Structure 1
Amino acid sequence: MKSVLICRCVCKYWNTRNNPLCCSVFEVLDPNSNNSIKLDPKFEIPIPDPKSIQGRRVYVDVLSCNGLFYLSCSMDRDISLVCNPITGEFIRLPKQPPILRPYEQISWGFGFHPKTNQYKVMRIYIFKHDRRMVVEMHTVGTSTWINIEVDYPKNLIHVLNHSAYFNGALHWIGIDVDGNDSIWAFNFDTERFQSFSMPPKDQGTKVRIFEFRGSLCLIYFNDLLVTMWMMKRYGDGKSWAPIFQYTNSSITTSQLPSCIGSLDRKNQEFRIFVTPWCDFKAHGKFQIIHHVPTLIPLKDIIIGDNVEVQNIYSPDNPN
């Protein structure tokens, strides 16, 4: 009972978000605001030899699915785990297969196969010399990674590292040799890729993909404009509709917002989207993810023969 009550406890500042007068559906956050939240770490991921990281930035990639996190260290991808931050439970994942040839970009995804009730971690990379794509998948609870043979366009040269899980599939944005963008969705049931077209965008515009309000969405941003698009009918590239737009044509760079916040009172969700005007050198690199907590124990979620659930509160936990 105490754990349930703690889940509902927030600080006074966050409690004000319930005030209907606080903000509308979308709100531009003040870049000069001094409001801050102190976070006490629950998970400590060991890093390589401290001497090897001097002068280098080290960060942890975080992917979320159904209340679970996939965490991996940027310096050593063999240091990775799946955890439930609410219960403090975690599972260490097996080492990833070595990549023996030069590659363009490596991307990860974390999702759920609804028919088998299994969680999957995916790794995608494209070789430099022949642009061959390699897709590897690990089923959480097993001890191995497997290679997935997939059909893909041979002119695809780059896959962005930001993925989004939605509707039983992982979604990435792919770029072909001519610079054209499209969405590539890997369906866990068919183990095949499906491509969707994207709304038109200007040259130099960056893009992120995410799930929002039960739909697949995109956020486009450049120096002057932020636009959010929603796919009204999943899989239909003609159903994209803009749901929010923010322009900065009339203000100076120093006044540009670092984030745009979204408050969804119906679903009790609050999200923050980073804008291209965020000063990463001053504030460091960070990412915003969609996360809905769960109190279900990991042993009741993960199916497999190689499930060793540990807990950060356990006295035998070395971390």
Structure 2
Amino acid sequence: MSSFSSSMQDLPEHVTIDILLRLPVKKIIHCKCVCKKWHNIVSDPYFADLHLLRSPKGLMIHHNSERDNRTGHLKPGILKWVEIEDEPDHHNLQHDPVMSLDLNLATIFQKTQILPVGSVNGLICLWQFGPKVDNTYICNPITREYMILPRQRYYRKGYAIIVYGFGVTLKTNEYKVVRTFQGNIPPDPTSGSRPSLLEAEVYTLGMGHWRSLGQVPFWCSGFDGPSLNGHAHWIVIDRDSPEKLCAFDFDTETFKLFPSPPCEYIEESYNHYISLGVLKGCLCQADTFDSQLTIWVMKEYGVKESWHKEVVIKESISPDLDWLMWEPVYVIESLKNGTILIVFRRDKLLVYCPHKNVVQDTRIFDRYLTGMIYCPSFLKLQHFRLERVHVF
């Protein structure tokens, strides 16, 4: 053991904790392996809570560019943590392959596909689907732990749409997964006919079972609803709805209509896609048209009048970049200098630089990717009672 490690051993525990909290996540993981004392400190919920308060905000990219040679389907993919060096005058995205979590190597995910449906406080909710497979997992890529939730009540049969939300309550700090099962979907969503089965269920981590919430009052789209202020949010499909967004309150476990931004249409556009995200700590909506992207931001949560048109990005500003808009654009986050990170067509991680009014390709990953804001955490899944925890 080095002299530094020896001297650290003699320090009071509160001083050791303060020093460890100042280290990069990768260094903390290394320190955890030095001795039993440091291992116990890092594994303690108190340390996890303190670290989360100052946890550096980064990205979690789900990259699944490989296909199964037998089925032709995409493989489960790899969770890749991207650190953000974010300063007012510059920014940098860094990916360390050592910190990746390769889901392709996990036996439980073989011959299936994986989609991340949300991230809260370092925990990620994953949906596993495939022939006769419909499972929900919670994992922590930093501690390499995961748990599989009990089989859901509404097992997918035939054609159906599953809409997910993952969040934490504001009052009791409970982590919950909500999902709606939309069965027997009409072939034409514009017809106004609602699904014949539209019900929801919720799972509280540590409770060991799903609970039925009964009928859902709204028909929603966007399988992964962004979580903010103790709510999950989705787009409402119902044509007659006075608002085009809805929210699920994780505390009261109720659905409600949510104020939506003004409807905008471009006559010469054949396509109009909508996606939701979180930008600068505020709910945002991205309206994708044939040749432009409009980003709305709700400056004051829950107040309809606070919706603000943050930026309009024309396709023509970057003629050398192939980004014809025939799929939704997903906004991930904004940096200190105003740069906006977006995932385009699920195959490019782009940045919009407002000062230069240009869109650039980061070229970090190739095609088939999704992304979300991720704050690394040392929260251990063993702290949730009644859950069986495994290690990758």
User: TM-score by structure 1 length?
Assistant: 0.72
The amino acid of 1:200's aligned partner reads C
> Judging changes above 3 Å, is the alpha-carbon distance between structure 1 residues 235 and 110 closer, same or farther for their aligned structure 2 residues?
same
Please give the alpha-carbon distance, in whole angstroms, between the structure 1 residues aligned to 2:124 and 2:84: 27
1:151–1:192 CA contact under 8 A, matched in 2:
no
Deviations 1:126-149 (A, max 9, x none): 233753411011112233211103
Pick the aligned partner of 1:290 from 373, 376, 383: 373
Q: Which has the larger radius of gyration?
A: 2
Q: 2:75: which partner in 1?
A: none
Q: By how many angstroms is 1:185 displaced? A: 0.3
Q: By how many angstroms is 1:18 displaced? A: 4.6
Pick the aligned partner of 1:107 from 163, 166, 184: 163
Please give the alpha-carbon distance, in whole angstroms, between the structure 2 residues aligned to 1:260 and 1:188: 23
Per the alignment, in what secondary structure is the counterpart of residue 149 of structure 1?
strand
* Structure 2: gaps (5+ residues): 1-18, 28-55, 57-81, 186-194, 350-364
Please give the alpha-carbon distance, in whole angstroms, between the structure 2 residues aligned to 1:308 and 1:16: 33
Q: Percent identity?
A: 25
Deviations 1:153-182 (A, max 9, x none): 5xx4x4221311111111111211469871
Question: What pairs up with 1:259-278 in 2 under 5 angstroms?
Answer: 263-265=334-336, 272-276=341-345, 278=347
Please give the alpha-carbon distance, in whole angstroms, between the structure 2 residues aligned to 1:3 and 1:73: 34
Per the alignment, in what secondary structure is the counterpart of residue 176 of structure 1?
coil
Pick the aligned partner of 1:134 from 194, 199, 203: 199
Q: Which moved more, 1:252-261 or 1:75-84?
A: 252-261
> Judging changes above 3 Å, is the alpha-carbon distance between structure 1 residues 112 and 192 closer, same or farther for their aligned structure 2 residues?
same
Per the alignment, in what secondary structure is the counterpart of residue 371 of structure 2?
coil
Q: 1:22: which partner in 2?
A: 90
After superposition, the CA RMSD in angstroms is: 3.9
Q: 1:315: which partner in 2?
A: none
Return the structure number with greater relative CO, CA threshold 8 A, min gap 6. 1
The amino acid of 1:308's aligned partner reads R
- Alignment of 1:144 onto 2:200: no
Please give the alpha-carbon distance, in whole angstroms, between the structure 2 residues aligned to 1:16 and 1:90: 25
Per the alignment, in what secondary structure is the counterpart of residue 74 of structure 1?
strand
> Judging changes above 3 Å, is the alpha-carbon distance between structure 1 residues 265 and 185 closer, same or farther for their aligned structure 2 residues?
same
The amino acid of 1:164's aligned partner reads P
Per the alignment, in what secondary structure is the counterpart of residue 123 of structure 1?
strand
Give the total of aligned pairs: 285
Please give the alpha-carbon distance, in whole angstroms, between the structure 1 residues aligned to 2:183 and 2:380: 39
* Structure 1: gaps (5+ residues): 30-34, 313-319
Per the alignment, in what secondary structure is the counterpart of residue 289 of structure 1?
strand
Please give the alpha-carbon distance, in whole angstroms, between the structure 2 residues aligned to 1:146 and 1:15: 37
Per the alignment, in what secondary structure is the counterpart of residue 290 of structure 1?
strand
Higher helix share: 2
- Alignment of 1:7 onto 2:25: yes
The amino acid of 1:264's aligned partner reads L
